[in-house]
């Protein structure tokens, strides 16, 4: 990606005001990549705002301490978007993933840069830094910083370790190769604390989130001779436990821990949509199933957000379609 990196460096050198954003309900990869890149830009005297459609989940607020992460509010942040010279979308490759922010971003006259590792990007940006083989967007940011002479200091190392750790499933997904571990070794040498970061992300949960997880697991069901497992989270469960969509992070992988399960699904009933999380093992391209319902993602991890539909109908339709993916 050297040519794209050179083009991106030229954009950085010739502009002053930047906005970084990520997909709705940002995860560790999106947030960590934002913070690392924001720090890189600020060290070069740039004005940088991280502006996301969704609030930062509680377990990632330690990243907010490294660099402010704002939640978009159109009356307050409209001017920031309007005055931006460059808008960078990280860990997402289509404006639709920006939800309420999308119209503001798309009508902006700012240059648009997309940095991502997901397949099938939308056509909206002036420059793309894409690598589907990267296990995390954070790895792309690491490569860019390293190749352009940037410093991997404590802030950068902490943010990028968070990004890579979370999107590799704590270094256990298929794309976790020797290069990932080489990068992580450098991040540890630069001061990233693997124990503290893991605890912040996975072991500082709330009691209400644990109650929701208990409800989810209590209602887990299997299908297709135990090769598919699924969880259904109703609006009532969210209300009873006092939780939100953000609290469901890392729930769906539990389905794949069951012996013999090839496909794991989670259905979350929101106020106006049904969110479906798709996971699979091995050669099952579960993103192809997600596409049937307007979603997309990686081969083994994808998602879809279905509007104007009843929960029971979505569950029935997805489970029926999933049958042809079971092996």
Task: Write out the residue limits of the CATH 3.90.1640.10 domain(s) in the chain.
Answer: 2-202
Residue 268's SS3 state is strand
Per the CB < 8 A criterion, the answer to whether 220 and 183 are in contact is no
Spatial CA neighbour of 48 closest among 56, 38, 58: 38
Run of H or E including 140: helix 137-147
Give the model's pLDDT for residue 1. Answer: 65
DSSP 99: G
In the chain, CATH 3.10.310.30 sits at 207-325
Q: From the first residue on, what is the mean pLDDT of each consecutive set of 10 residues in the chain (327 residues)? A: 91 98 94 98 97 93 97 83 94 90 91 94 94 96 96 97 96 91 98 98 92 96 98 97 90 96 97 94 95 91 92 97 95
CA atoms within 13 A on the CB side of 305: 12
Query: What dotted CATH number matches 207-325?
Result: 3.10.310.30
Q: Identify the pLDDT of residue 271.
A: 87
Q: What is the CATH number of domain 2-202?
A: 3.90.1640.10
DSSP 247: G
């Amino acid at each position: 990606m050297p040519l794209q990196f050179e083009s991106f460096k030229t954009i950085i050198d010739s502009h002053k005001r930047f906005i970084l954003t990520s997909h709705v309900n940002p995860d560790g990869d999106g947030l960590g990549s934002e913070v690392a890149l924001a720090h890189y830009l600020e060290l070069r005297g740039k004005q940088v705002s991280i502006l996301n459609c969704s609030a930062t989940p509680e377990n990632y607020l330690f990243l907010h301490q490294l660099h402010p992460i704002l939640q978009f509010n159109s009356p307050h942040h409209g001017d920031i978007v309007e005055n931006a010279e460059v808008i960078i979308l990280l860990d997402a490759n289509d404006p639709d993933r920006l939800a309420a922010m999308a119209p503001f971003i798309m009508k902006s006259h700012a240059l648009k840069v997309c940095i991502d590792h997901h397949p099938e990007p939308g056509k909206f940006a002036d420059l793309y830094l894409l690598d589907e083989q990267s296990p995390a967007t954070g790895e792309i940011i690491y490569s860019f910083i390293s190749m352009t002479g940037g410093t991997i200091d404590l802030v950068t190392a902490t943010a990028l370790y968070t990004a890579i750790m979370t999107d590799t499933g704590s270094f256990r997904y298929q794309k976790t190769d020797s290069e990932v571990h080489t990068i992580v070794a450098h991040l540890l040498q630069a001061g990233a604390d693997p124990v503290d970061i893991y605890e912040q992300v996975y072991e500082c949960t709330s009691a209400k989130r644990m109650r929701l997880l208990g409800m989810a697991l209590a209602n887990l069901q299997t299908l297709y001779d135990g090769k598919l497992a699924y969880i259904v989270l109703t609006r009532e469960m969210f209300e009873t436990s006092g939780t939100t969509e953000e609290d469901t992070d890392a729930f769906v992988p539990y389905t794949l821990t069951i012996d013999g399960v090839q496909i794991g699904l989670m259905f979350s009933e929101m106020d106006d949509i049904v969110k479906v999380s798709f996971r699979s093992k091995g050669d099952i391209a579960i993103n192809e199933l997600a596409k049937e319902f307007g979603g997309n993602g990686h081969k083994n991890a994808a998602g879809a957000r279905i509007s104007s539909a009843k929960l029971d109908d979505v569950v029935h339709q997805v489970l029926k379609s999933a049958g042809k993916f079971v092996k």
